[in-house]
């Protein structure tokens, strides 16, 4: 099973590095394997998730589960 890391920032002034660092630490603390694939996007949280990379990732995961 693949492990995905999803990172979203809403402005150009934010960076993905802090979020990536925290996700990696979370995985390490909880004995979760390394992240196989990172999904990153810069988009407002107000935009519907189906129209973001998150929606694409969720559709992909649903296909592998069903």
| DSSP helix/strand/coil, 39 | strand
Mean pLDDT of 59-66: 84
Q: Is the pLDDT of residue 64 over 90?
A: no
Which letter does DSSP use for residue 31 in this model? T
Q: Which residue(s) pair with 48 in the sheet?
A: none
The span from the CA of 28 to the CA of 60, in Å, is 25
Give the dihedral sign, CA 56/54/13/26: negative
Residue 44, C-beta contacts closer than 8 angstroms, at least 6 positions apart: 10
Q: What are the tens digits of pLDDT across the range 15-47?
A: 889 899 999 999 999 999 999 999 999 887 778
């Amino acid at each position: 099973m693949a492990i995905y890391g999803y990172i979203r920032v809403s402005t150009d002034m934010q960076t993905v590095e802090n979020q990536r660092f925290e996700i990696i630490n979370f995985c390490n603390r909880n004995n979760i394997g390394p992240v196989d694939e990172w999904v990153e996007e810069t988009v407002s949280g107000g935009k519907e998730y189906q129209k973001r990379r998150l929606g694409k990732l969720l559709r992909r995961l649903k296909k592998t589960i069903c």
